[in-house]
Amino acid sequence: MHGGWNRGWLAALAALLLASLAPALAAEPALRLTAGGTTRSFSAADLLARPDAASITLPRDASYGRPMTYRAVPLRALLAGLAPGDADTVEARATDGFVSQLPLALVEGPAEAWIAVEDPAHPWPKLPGKPVSAGPFYLVWRAPARGPVAAEQWPYALAELTAVDSPAHRWPAIAVAASLAPDDPARRGQALFATNCLPCHRLAGAGEGTVGPDLLRPMPATAYFTEAGLRALLRDPASVRTWPAQQMPRFDRAALSDQDIGAVIAYLRHLAARTR
Ligand code: HEC
């Protein structure tokens, strides 16, 4: 019968179409690199097939807190394929709202930035205390002591790398006043904040991170936290208050000295006084 044949034919055609489309529809994760107006997209397979892909072993991976071995490609070589122009910073954007601003000099320097690539056939373990691994793409450092590189400069679940201007140039409102004494702790606080805090916290809207609250607006954190409360929170957030979804990391003395924390607080106070 005509109708019956038609239905069967349509069903067969639909099945064929679905079968051929399914692999393309299954969203394959990609790492996007943008510099000088050019964007290139790499799949895990693209990166793993590169001739410069290598096995690297890290004696202490900052996110896993233990030795790890990865298949990885040197970030410097990936960036060399694009013209960074005048940019002096690499913005590393993760899928969870964490956005690190990495100085280009650090990325291209002796600390050796690599992009570790999770092979779907050999998935990585879950991150400590998290339901996910560091994949599919993870920015790691082969010689972090030569940076030095901070723990917040190991962005995992990486989606995008973009060549940009430094935070102080993009957001002049978060740069300390030029009139500040050269040895004013707030100056050092600005650099420490950009490295350790800006990936998650904005300041009066400046910044790209969305993991934590804005620390300047609507009310500056320094207006409702005492100095002792802030110091305790940075060392161990759970010592101040605690709940299951808590995400703010703890900063031990190796990450930030007591003096460093003082400098970050001086910086936040400086900005708070200016925006009042
Ligand atoms: C990985 C992301 C991340 C980083 C890095 C980070 N924080 Fe947080 N922070 C959070 C989150 C998320 C919260 C909200 C509370 C929570 O979930 O723990 C928070 C809360 C806070 C609070 C309390 C704000 C409030 O109103 O309750 C302060 C103050 C703070 N962070 C300061 C800092 C400073 C200073 C740094 C850098 C030294 C920093 N944070 C680094 C994620 C981060």
Q: What is the pLDDT of residue 37?
A: 84
Burial class (CB in 10 A: 0-12, 13-18, 19+), 200: buried
User: Taking a C-beta distance cutoff of 8 angstroms, is the pair 176, 157 a contact?
Assistant: no
Q: What is the pLDDT of residue 135?
A: 97
Q: Is 35 in the pocket of ligand 1 (CB under 6 A)?
A: no
Q: What is the pLDDT of residue 15?
A: 54
Q: Is 57 in the pocket of ligand 1 (CB under 6 A)?
A: no
The ranges of the chain with pLDDT < 70 are 1-26, 84, 276
Provide the sign of the torsion angle of the four alpha carbons 77, 195, 162, 140, taken in this order: positive
How far is it, in rounded angstroms, from Cα 101 to Cα 78? 17
Q: What is the pLDDT of residue 70?
A: 98
In the structure encoding, which two tokens stand for residue 116, read together?
């570790």
How far is it, in rounded angstroms, from Cα 127 to Cα 38? 33
Q: Is 262 in the pocket of ligand 1 (CB under 6 A)?
A: no
In the structure encoding, which two tokens stand for residue 131, read together?
């339901």
Q: Is 212 in the pocket of ligand 1 (CB under 6 A)?
A: yes
Residue 251 alpha carbon, nearest atom of ligand 1: 38
Q: What is the pLDDT of residue 10?
A: 53
Q: Whose CA is nearest to atom 43 of ligand 1?
A: 248
How far is it, in rounded angstroms, from Cα 127 to Cα 140? 14
In the structure encoding, which two tokens stand for residue 256, read together?
């930030």
Q: What is the pLDDT of residue 258?
A: 98
- AA letter at 258: D
Give the Å distance between the CA of 200 and the centre of ligand 1.
7
